[in-house]
A = this chain, B = another copy of it.
């Protein structure tokens, strides 16, 4: 893409590699990239806080200029960040093409963070709606949370069970609204006059929010409401149960990946420095706490020790690795 001049390209690429290293590899523990990351996170949080505070009219009127200046400044920074990340995308060892970066979820979130404000320069959107869209900048924080990526993996993995539980919830909502409409529509035509309006009560009830602004008042409505609430109690909590179960599975699977790595490293009887570093990198990538990693290591050692005790049935000598190295 930028190989017009060999020597220039060389300088350019070396600068690009540096920028890539600063922007996308803050885990290498250098001070500079770490600081940049903290500044970017702080900017996102400040930006969202500003949007929240701006909606308090009295504050916005007094500090209008400051708020607008801060918005313009941070918008510029976010645009620069997007362009820089786009520029350095080919440095990524896993996917060298810029297009694949543009299509990645993080890049889409980055674009969403700047697009509404840019559109505003072209089309005069309502300022309030624009503010609501500026809230999407919050999603930029997802890049920096390793545990969040695990949760997202769980959502992806359990998508089928999730869809099923939402489908059941939808079924129950429709049945609840239908029943309440049947029982209450003559007495409370405002709140239960049609199934769509009865849906507000159904949602508030089955999610156990229970505002109480609308409640059944007929005997039949109360009986039906009580029944559907008792049945619905298990359904509404299903998504949480599915996530918990999925998280469990995910953690288990990651730990068994870790375990396999430990076993591989221990095949020659000891873990050398290079292997130690690889394991540490894998541990961070999988988001496993160092305490859990220690536990896995311990169990693999115990397992290896048990194996060492086993002797070869052909020659009767013990199968420990120390002796096989000699």
Contact = CB atoms under 8 A, between A and B. Distances in A.
Interface in A127-184: 128-129, 131-132, 135, 138-139, 141, 145-148, 150-151, 157, 159-169, 171, 173-175, 177-179, 181-182
A170 to B, nearest CB: 8
A241 to B, nearest CB: 3
A37 to B, nearest CB: 16
B241 A233 contact: no
Interface string A195-207: 1100110011101
Interface in A42-67: 48, 51-53, 55-57
Contacts of A211: 210-212, 215
Given A145-B167, A160-B289, A311-B321, A204 B181 contact: no
Contact of A179 (B132, B193, B196, B310): B132
Contact of A174 (B48, B57, B196, B238): B48
Contacts of A292: 157
Given A161-B247, A210-B204, A52 B145 contact: no
B243 A240 contact: no
A243 B235 CA distance: 9
B239 A226 contact: no
A175 B238 contact: no
23 contacts: A55-B185, A55-B194, A56-B193, A56-B196, A57-B193, A129-B182, A135-B174, A138-B175, A150-B161, A151-B168, A160-B287, A160-B289, A166-B230, A207-B229, A233-B239, A234-B239, A236-B240, A237-B237, A245-B248, A245-B251, A248-B248, A312-B314, A313-B321
